[in-house]
Amino acid sequence: MNPFDVKKFFTLDNYEHLKIFKNFKNVYEVISNIDSYLKSLSLGKIEVEIPKNVHLENIEQISIGKGTSVEPFSYIKGPCIIGKNSQIRHGAYIRGNVITGHNAIIGHSTEIKNSILLDNASLAHFAYVGDSIIGNNVNLGAGVKCANFRLDKKNISFFHLGKIYKTNLKKLGAIIGDNSQIGCNSVLNPATFLGKNVIIYSCLNIGNYITEDSIVKPGALPFVKTKGIKNVFDEIKK
């Protein structure tokens, strides 16, 4: 299977916005489809009460599902869709082109733009997520940053197993597979790919492609929990 196939990262059978992932060979290509997908929808359906000191910009392009709580002093810019039974906490900053599934959390001082959250994704404290896709049941610890821009401002490209991939994207953050957990204050460099069930310990700088079921610890090689020892250090350091 193509290592960047959507199915390598996400189970989408019950995801309300499954359509956005259709017809893409590589998962990172979905990032460039967020804007056009949102423009194809009829937005402006807010099914919850909004506190008076929440700022909604482009309100006609914002949809918020039933059961979702939006706390005071959060900022939401359309176009965006917030799923049902989610939490937009005090001080959250949603900058537009954001899609969340149900039961998502965008927490205090968390900033997110041009990204997709699947069901039960949690960005609860002080996170930055740009141009990224966060899988089902993923938790980003406090202070996690998904960097999305090269310092030299060139298009994002990356190596995997000896092959260079040119994305033709100026910005590309992280693709984080279902059930992965990212420890507090870790940084995911542009074009980081984490398979399903990956655990990243706190305060690490991570890049490239980490295969499913891996654990990444400080000062140690990642290993695969269910398949024995596996050295993926060479992939990380590229």
Show which residues are catalytic: 125
Q: How big is the CA angle at 32 (ends 42 and 104), to the nearest 5 degrees?
A: 60
Q: In degrees rounded to 5, what are phi and psi of residue 118?
A: -85, -175
The CA distance from 126 to 65, in Å, is 24
Q: What letter does residue 5 receive in the DSSP assignment?
A: -
Percent helix, strand and coil across the chain, each to the nearest 5: 10, 35, 55
Q: Phi-psi category of 190—alpha, beta or left, where left has phi over 0 and alpha has psi -120 to 50?
A: beta
The CA distance from 130 to 116, in Å, is 9
The CA distance from 61 to 122, in Å, is 23
Please, are residues 83 and 66 in contact by the beta-carbon 8 Å criterion? no
The CA distance from 102 to 115, in Å, is 15
**Measured between alpha carbons, how far apart are the two ends of the chain, in Å?**
22
Please, are residues 70 and 50 in contact by the beta-carbon 8 Å criterion? yes
Please, are residues 116 and 28 in contact by the beta-carbon 8 Å criterion? no
